[in-house]
Amino acid sequence: MQKVRQKKEKMRNVTVNDLFSLEAKRDPIRFYKQLREQGPIIDLGEYPSIGKFWLLTRYEDAIALLKDPHPFTRDRLKLLSPEEKEQTTRYHSALEQYVLQRRDMLAVDPPDHTRLRKLVAKAFTPRMIEQMRPRMQQIVDELINAVEDKGKIELISEFAYPLPITVICEMLGIPARDRQQFRHWTQLLIVPPQKPEEFAALNAPLEEFISYIQRLIEEKHQNPGDDIISVLVQAREQEDKLSENELISSIFLLIVAGHETTVNLIANGVLELLLHPDQLQLLQQDPSLLPSTIEELLRYTGPIFAAGSHWAMEDTTLYGKQIRKGDIVLVGLTAANLDPDVFEHPEKLDITREENKHVAFGKGIHVCLGAPLARQESQIAIGTLIRRLPHLRLAVPPEQLVWSGSKFRALRSLPLEF
C-alpha cells in the first residue's frame, strides 16, 4: 500500500519535462495510463520563462480543444498589452527573438493562420505529394542499395533521416550541401532546456540557423525558383502578405517539422514491427495492409507526445481546475491515442485496426499540413524496407536501445542486421 501511495504521489507531481523523459519514451503505454488515472487534466507546474502548464489526457477533450479552442489561443501576443508587445521587439538574443516573435502557422490564429497556411498548402496537397512518389521511391532504393551488401544498417543515420531531409530540402529549394547541417541544428534545438545555462547554450545554434535562413531568403530574392521558399519570398515582396518574422518563422518550421517527425515515425515504426513479429509477418504476407499499418503506428508510437501551446485568454475552469489567464494547456496526443474509451485494447499493436481515428497529426485548423507527405514517405520507406530486407532484425537487445532527450519520441540510433 505504501508503494502504491508513493507511485501515485510521483505521478501527481509530474512536470512538462516528465513528458519528454526516458520513462515516457521507453514505455509510453504505462506512463500515459498512469497519467489518465490521475484525471482528465494534469497540473504540470511552472516551466522557466514560459508559464504554468496543464495537460489534457482524454481523447474527447483533445478533440474538443483542437477543433474549438475558445477561450484559448495559439497566439501568445494576444495576451500582451500594447506596451508589452513593444517590449517583445527589444529582444537581446536569438532565443528571445524566436520565442517572443515566432509567427508561423502553428503559433497564430485566423486570419493570420489562414493567410500563412494558404501560401504553402498547395505544395502539400495529396495530389502534389502523389506526384513525388517516384522520387521518394528512388531515394529509398538508393539508400537500401548502399547498405544491401553490408548485412547491417544503422536505420536512423543511413535511412530514416536521409529520406525526409532530402525530400523536404528539394521541396524548399535548399542546396544538398547544407542538409547535414540541419541535423546538427535541429538536434540541439529540440531538446527542452531545463537550466539557465541550457537556455543560454541555445543562442549560438539558433543564431546560426536564423542567419542561414536570412541568407537563403536573400538568395531566393536574387534567383527565385519554383520551390516553396521562393513562393514565400515572392509573396512577401509582391503581395505584402508576409512580414519578415512570418517569413523566417515559416521557413524555420518547414525545415524542422518537414523532416524531424518523419524520421522518428519511420524509426519507431520499424522498431515496433520488429518487436511484434506477428504483425510484421502479417504485413509481409499482405502488403495491402501498409496504409492501415502506418495509421496504427501513428496511433501506437507517434513521435509527438503533445500538441502545441494553447494559451488561456481568460480565467476558466476545466474539470474543477482553475486555469488562469496566461496558463498553457497542452493536448496529450499520445494519451488520447491510448484512450481505452475510444480504442479497443489500445495497448495492443493491431495493423488491421479499423476506425482508427487517431490524433497523431492533430485536428481542426491546425491539423498537420505535412500529413500526406509523412504518410507517403513512411509507407514507401517501411514497405520497401521489409520487402527488400525481409530478414531484418535488431542488432542489440531492445533494452540496450538509447532514447534521445528531445521533445519527440526519438531513438538515438537503431542498429539492425539482415
The pLDDT tens digits of the residues spanning 359-394 come to 999 999 999 999 999 999 999 999 999 999 999 999
Model confidence at 77: pLDDT above 70? yes
Across the range 269-296, mean pLDDT stands at 98
Per-residue cell: 237 = 515582396
Per-residue cell: 65 = 480543444
Q: Residue 8 has what pLDDT? A: 43
CATH of 2-417, one of 1.25.40.10, 1.10.630.10, 3.40.1440.10, 3.40.50.150: 1.10.630.10
Model confidence at 201: pLDDT above 90? no
Listed in sequence order, the residues at least 6 apart from 156 whose beta carbon sits closer than 8 Å to its beta carbon are: 263, 267, 411, 412, 413, 414
Across the range 55-74, mean pLDDT stands at 96
The pLDDT tens digits of the residues spanning 155-171 come to 999 999 999 999 999 99
Domain ranges of the chain: 2-417
Q: Residue 5 has what pLDDT? A: 43
Burial (Cβ within 10 Å: 0-12, 13-18, ≥19) of residue 417? middle
Q: Count CB neighbours of 348 within 10 A.
A: 13
Q: Residue 7 has what pLDDT? A: 44
Banded model confidence at residue 4, pLDDT cuts 50, 70, 90: very low
In the chain, the amino acid numbered 15 is T
